């Protein structure tokens, strides 16, 4: 028998419910029937936890050209210049769309009734161009988008539903040019596999930082969209560039709590355990150097001193100023007995952002007709070898706009298709060995941190690849014989993405941006993206 109980139908299936997915859904909803798939509650994604803000040129003293230049410098020379310019030039309009939708960015007093937004500065930016809502910008964006999505009659929300795989013409044995037909999804509420019939699937699943032992990301960041796109025949690029946020709280009772870069933008110092500052010894920009530089400096000092952590200190600033600008962080740290206004905060780097992903063009289209990828799941060329702070939410909303426009322009070109084949579970049984998944999961995250972390070597990467191949074999056998579970689906996807990350890293014979290897410590004179192509698309 099968456990497929329902076939959903829509014009567009959006897999992911963060800033990218919800923005696109709202832009399409006036003309299209949209289903939004969320692995957990609608809000549980990386957007909710974004503290810093969103970059756009709102200051008359700033310029699009400056934003482009800063992004390219942070990207260590391999950003796609045309894409950076495209995003920077459309930034203000797309951020204004968020404002019009109700996002309450902080404002300053002005001489007239025209809103004047408080702009902060973060690492890599030469101007103050970060719009924010105190230190909880992501929450403000997510809540506003959610409120609007829940009210729209053309948007159906399926919470606690995982996407399993993309269904294509080739996958089901149909002739003609390959194209998306829909997707298999797992209803976690009823523990059954269902189908979604649609001509357009948009991957907005976020990144893959859960592949690492220490991460600032929520549990849902397991590389699902990257793995599904790869299995469907799409190229991926630049997955060796994994950004480690320099400052995550180091505390035995804290999990995944990030300390925004805006703290350093407002004057916080990085210090050793003895209270001495060290960033000036690594970069003339000090605490405002790009994240890859800061993360490596912290990692170096921890290893050199044998220290468990370094410290972030803003206690020299006025307490009222600190509490006003960072109320969320202040209250959170109080729960752990730390007073942000009086003492230094123990910090360590943690995996934070996946700069590479599924290759797309300016419309978010992938190699598979009908499949789009937007946000952190994608490789657009914006981030190059290192993402500049607060460009991530910006990329989400700009590509949500461009992808929506492309879908609207091409929706009449596809003929409707017949019902999809159901998911077949007739040959599988319930597992009584869930411990196998847990063991493989922990092993993967540990050796990825050790071998594919902030500092790498060829030998470490080779070790990682051997372990991944063995774990993939075990997991594939498990997947073929036992019924679907959330942990099994995520482990399957994480192993696939881990392999792609390591293969990308092994191809790059240089150190650049977020990829630092002791075997090739200098950058090459000529460089570009690392591209991987599937052997057998389906």
- Known catalytic residues are 291
Neighbours of 431 (CB within 10 A): 15
Spatial separation of the C-alpha atoms in residues 130 and 398, rounded to whole Å: 16
**Nearest Cα to Cα of residue 265 among 100, 99, 129:** 129
Structure tokens at 335: 């729960």
Place of tokens 């976690």: 188
Q: What three-state secondary structure class fits 185?
A: strand
Spatial separation of the C-alpha atoms in residues 258 and 216, rounded to whole Å: 6
Rounded to the nearest 5°, which phi and psi values hold at 121? -125, 140
Neighbours of 483 (CB within 10 A): 16
Strands 345-354 and 357-359 turn out to be: unpaired
Spatial separation of the C-alpha atoms in residues 420 and 182, rounded to whole Å: 8
Structure tokens at 2: 């099968």
Sort residue 267 into left (φ over 0), alpha (ψ -120 to 50) or beta. Answer: left
Spatial separation of the C-alpha atoms in residues 213 and 230, rounded to whole Å: 24
Place of tokens 């999804």: 185
Spatial separation of the C-alpha atoms in residues 212 and 451, rounded to whole Å: 10
Structure tokens at 277: 């500052």
**Spatial contact of 182 and 13, defined as CB atoms under 8 Å apart:** yes
List of residues 6+ apart from 49 with CB closer than 8 A: 138, 139, 216, 217, 218, 256, 258
**Spatial contact of 42 and 17, defined as CB atoms under 8 Å apart:** yes
């Amino acid at each position: 028998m099968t456990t497929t109980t329902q076939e959903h139908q829509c014009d567009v299936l959006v897999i992911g419910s963060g800033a990218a997915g919800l923005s696109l859904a709202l832009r399409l909803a006036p003309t299209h029937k949209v289903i939004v798939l969320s692995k957990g509650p609608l809000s549980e994604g990386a957007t909710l936890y974004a503290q810093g803000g969103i970059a756009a040129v709102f200051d008359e003293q700033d310029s699009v050209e400056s934003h482009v230049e800063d992004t390219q410098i942070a990207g260590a020379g391999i950003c796609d210049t045309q894409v950076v310019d495209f995003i920077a030039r459309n930034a203000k309009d797309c951020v204004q769309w968020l404002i019009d939708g109700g996002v309450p960015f902080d404002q300053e007093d002005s001489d007239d009734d025209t809103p004047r937004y408080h702009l902060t500065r973060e690492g890599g930016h030469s101007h103050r161009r970060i719009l924010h809502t105190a230190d909880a910008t992501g929450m403000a964006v997510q809540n506003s988008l959610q409120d609007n999505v829940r009210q729209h009659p053309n948007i159906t929300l399926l919470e606690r539903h995982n996407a399993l795989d993309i269904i294509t013409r080739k996958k089901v044995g149909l002739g003609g040019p390959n194209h998306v037909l829909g997707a298999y999804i797992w209803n976690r509420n009823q523990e059954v596999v269902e189908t979604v019939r649609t001509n357009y699937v948009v991957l907005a699943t976020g990144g893959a930082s859960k592949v690492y032992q220490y991460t600032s990301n929520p549990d849902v960041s397991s590389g699902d969209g990257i793995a599904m796109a790869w299995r469907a025949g799409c190229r991926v690029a630049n997955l060796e560039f994994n950004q480690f946020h320099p400052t995550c709280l180091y505390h035995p009772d804290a999990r995944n709590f990030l300390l925004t870069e805006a703290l350093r933008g407002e004057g916080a110092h990085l210090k050793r355990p003895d209270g001495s500052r060290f960033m000036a010894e690594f970069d003339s920009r000090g605490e405002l150097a790009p994240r890859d530089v800061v993360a490596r400096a912290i990692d170096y000092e921890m290893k050199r001193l044998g220290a468990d952590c370094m410290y972030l200190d803003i206690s020299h600033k006025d307490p009222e100023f600190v509490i006003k600008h960072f109320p969320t962080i202040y209250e959170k740290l109080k729960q752990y007995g730390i007073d942000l206004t009086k003492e230094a905060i123990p910090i360590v780097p943690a995996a934070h952002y996946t700069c590479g992903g599924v290759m797309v063009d300016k419309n978010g289209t992938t190699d598979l007709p009908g499949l789009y990828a937007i946000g952190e799941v994608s490789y657009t060329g914006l981030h190059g070898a290192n993402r500049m702070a607060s460009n991530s939410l910006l990329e989400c909303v700009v590509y949500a706009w461009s992808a929506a426009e492309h879908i609207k322009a091409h929706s009449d070109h596809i003929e409707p298709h017949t019902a999809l084949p159901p998911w077949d579970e007739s040959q599988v049984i319930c597992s009584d060995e869930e411990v196998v998944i847990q063991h493989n999961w922990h092993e993967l995250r540990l050796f990825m941190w050790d071998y594919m972390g902030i500092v790498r070597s060829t030998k470490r990467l080779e070790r990682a690849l051997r372990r991944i191949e063995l774990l993939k074999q075990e997991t594939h056998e498990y997947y073929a014989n036992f019924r679907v579970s959330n942990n099994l689906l995520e482990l399957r996807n994480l192993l696939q993405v881990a392999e792609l990350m390591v293969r990308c890293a092994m191809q790059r014979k240089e150190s650049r941006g977020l990829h630092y290897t002791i075997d090739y410590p200098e950058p090459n004179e000529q460089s570009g993206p690392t591209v991987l192509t599937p052997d057998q698309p389906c």
